[in-house]
Structure 1
């Protein structure tokens, strides 16, 4: 390896469901390059966003902190300058740092230098979907001058990433490549794929939640999947370029997304819900420290990616980060690690999510203002899903007497996670008993010991533990 410090590239898609990848069982061969990276490198099989909406998720991945901690808990709130980002950490360690694509953490367009999170090289737009469309990509450089990048939009940004790598062959670099695909084009509410790609995928595959719930997938999924296919082709070109530059073995590459997409099945738009269609994302890494890492099966938050990348590069991890490096899980699947992830929801409502291997527990504060309040004080149980038996979250068990002890155990863990995130002390009220209770159920009864959720002997999967 050239020197002792690896290069780092993050490929960040927008609104990509986890089940669009082959390693998660998608049958359409959309992501062969991502899949190869996951199989030969490290695949985080259960990865979740800390917030299922653009700006808060982006603030979290830049800082390793929860959206309520950064102050960017919803769209429209710029990332405060006092937040220390990955660019600051890598830059202070002697890395050249660069940002390409969508930012969504400023309040101006073009993004002024003091709102760029410390990135040295800049070619981006605050809200790329407003400055560009599929074949007309307009971004702004360090001098706030507009630049038109030729080609299909994701191709144009991958081309820029390849140029950045070629320009920094002789020094360690950290690059954040932020794509808009497979996000919809807002003004026309469509998913513009490259010419001919919609026809390849329209009507060929439908995940069970969308098959059951409908939404807009029948008209949008072909374009959405076509966008993902083209992104993966760009990833393959990036790998080819790194190999050509003799950088492939020296470079950590990670790909993930800000949130998923439920195609207007859970609310009136595409995200901002507690369901896996909104919060579960793909995550794979390759390169030094990750090649041959295998599958990480424990639930991991994208909030854990920043400290993981810093640790893998030998760069100090700030104490202020809420996330933690998952490198220990690569060496030992039994390493100390929480059995749950914690997710905040804003804008649609003020909600909080606990997601374990088996359970999804969701609470909402109906008295909180979803736009003005970062947190709530009086939450109510709103959803409980048994993911072992209902993986696409079609049967809400909130309030079910048969699951009361499960909900009570999860409530204690969620309150602890809220406190650990620095949120104000809150209460969670029980959900009312459903009018029609599922008949014939035995009681599902986890054991709780010393404030920790422990699975019973009778076939339960691990629950929150820590």
Structure 2
């Protein structure tokens, strides 16, 4: 199905592709969090489509985002962890949309590492117009900021630091000492890197904070680009750590807003070896303390509400410019955050808290009226966004490359595709983590893959026994049924489904299916007489 321009779609829509880093799917009001304030995002869900069963393709920043940007699984694009370069040959969202006349830009984070070796081998100058696009995931880097700037890694040309210094904030690295640090009751500077300081207000004025600044730069881009079709990837750094928020968001929530931890003593008695190794990571040890959860989670929630408020400001600006009625807004995140659930911190494994993500698509045009407020009961994946955006631009997705499926039919009230996916898949490569050494594994032995049909979630750890959860009977994933004799048939079925998934990976990306169709069995017409007497 292709979204054609007609009376209700008079021109190509703009696409505002918003991503919040490390935002759990269940930390939004529209996804049933009982106390968090996210009215702007809730309104997008109420007036758009809320895909509540969406999974990221790798619950780690870098590989998840590379799947978002390529429309391909992590094992296909190969950038399996943070700072693993994305192959120079991978076609990205920007490559697809620019062919339809779009300006495709980034404001914020990608966590992409350029394939410097591949560019050198091909003679691509990183400073050339082509080299910049290849180095930036196919985006025009209107302003890239990955939001990770401790002093020892500080980029000397960080635009946000320049911005802060121009407004009178002092210090070598005000990103750290101002935007991500606070002052304690004794007047001492305290770093937001330490979770004990999460209750403090960041020293920066809210209007100059990272989230506010990123929104300002998005507004700058839209002002500059209006009049021509554009796709802006607005990639907020927060609520990713350091968990520290500016006033008034730092104390907007309290301990009373912290939901009971999803962790039982039984999970610690005989945990799966890989899960046990992750439980030993420092972030897991700390988040297993209720004191830490009560200190961090209110700040985490405040950072989410701050994103929501600035998204409201951006939407209001779109309306003022007259751009809102022709701008499709997508809101999502790259992965979740355990926050102590299952005795874990950070992300990387496959519980719902980590691998399930929010995905809301709002199209204000009349053609999407039939779908407003819907929450389809289907499995979506982050790789579905590239083919969706390609269809919104009026193009046919390149099916020999893209492994996701367009969600456009669900946006415009069309009949559900007869053969929608039955399974969603997520992958992880934990070779860089301490868990690998705890388990005594080589770097090539650390892959794990999750597959779910919406009810059953099966996890293959390659060198260890699998896990199996019944998400219907056990939505909090407390009972591993992989060794339950009654579930042996389910394990076999899920193993086969995973094997089938591996077989279907799209690795022939240089020749389209249509080209093969038109060149099948024509050797004799080309003068190659095979088998003639």
Same fold flag (TM > 0.5): yes
2:423–2:451 CA contact under 8 A, matched in 1 = yes
In structure 2, distance between residues paired with 1:266 and 1:130? 30
Q: Which residue number in structure 2 is paired with residue 159 of structure 1? A: 216
- Tell me by how many angstroms 1:414 deviates: 1.3
Q: How does 1:51-450 map to 2 (within 5 A)?
A: 51-106=58-113, 113=132, 114-125=134-145, 127-130=146-149, 147-148=162-163, 151-185=208-242, 191-210=243-262, 212=264, 215=288, 216-266=292-342, 269-287=345-363, 288=365, 290-293=368-371, 294-319=374-399, 320-330=401-411, 331-333=414-416, 335-347=418-430, 349-366=446-463, 380-421=464-505
- Tell me by how many angstroms 1:385 deviates: 0.8
Going from structure 1 to structure 2, the CA distance change for 1:384 and 1:138 (only over 3 Å counts) comes to farther
Going from structure 1 to structure 2, the CA distance change for 1:202 and 1:57 (only over 3 Å counts) comes to same
In structure 2, distance between residues paired with 1:386 and 1:164? 46
In structure 1, distance between residues paired with 2:98 and 2:228? 12
Going from structure 1 to structure 2, the CA distance change for 1:218 and 1:159 (only over 3 Å counts) comes to same
In structure 2, distance between residues paired with 1:344 and 1:291? 35
In structure 1, distance between residues paired with 2:357 and 2:157? 26
Local SS of the residue matching 2:208: coil
Please give the TM-score of this superposition, normalised by the length of structure 1.
Answer: 0.79
Larger radius of gyration: 2
Going from structure 1 to structure 2, the CA distance change for 1:255 and 1:40 (only over 3 Å counts) comes to same
Local SS of the residue matching 1:19: coil
Local SS of the residue matching 1:148: helix
**Alignment length (residue pairs):** 397
Q: Which residue number in structure 2 is paired with residue 433 of structure 1? A: none
Going from structure 1 to structure 2, the CA distance change for 1:301 and 1:155 (only over 3 Å counts) comes to same
Local SS of the residue matching 1:392: coil
Q: Which residue number in structure 2 is paired with residue 457 of structure 1? A: none
Going from structure 1 to structure 2, the CA distance change for 1:41 and 1:407 (only over 3 Å counts) comes to same
Structure 1: gaps spanning 5 or more residues: 186-190, 367-379, 424-466
In structure 2, distance between residues paired with 1:153 and 1:117? 22
2:62–2:83 CA contact under 8 A, matched in 1 = yes
1:209–1:393 CA contact under 8 A, matched in 2 = no
Local SS of the residue matching 1:89: helix
- Tell me by how many angstroms 1:332 deviates: 2.7
In structure 2, distance between residues paired with 1:388 and 1:364? 23
Going from structure 1 to structure 2, the CA distance change for 1:18 and 1:422 (only over 3 Å counts) comes to same
In structure 1, distance between residues paired with 2:330 and 2:21? 14
Q: Which residue number in structure 2 is paired with residue 371 of structure 1? A: none
CA deviations on 1:210-239 (whole Å, 9 max, x unpaired) are: 465762423210111110000011111111
Relative to its length, the structure with more strand (as a share) is: 1
- Aligned-residue Cα RMSD (Å) equals 2.7
In structure 1, distance between residues paired with 2:322 and 2:506? 45
Please give the TM-score of this superposition, normalised by the length of structure 2.
Answer: 0.69
Going from structure 1 to structure 2, the CA distance change for 1:381 and 1:211 (only over 3 Å counts) comes to closer
In structure 1, distance between residues paired with 2:261 and 2:475? 9
In structure 2, distance between residues paired with 1:208 and 1:68? 36
In structure 1, distance between residues paired with 2:232 and 2:209? 21
1:18–1:281 CA contact under 8 A, matched in 2 = yes
In structure 2, distance between residues paired with 1:2 and 1:240? 22
Relative to its length, the structure with more helix (as a share) is: 2
2:54–2:381 CA contact under 8 A, matched in 1 = yes
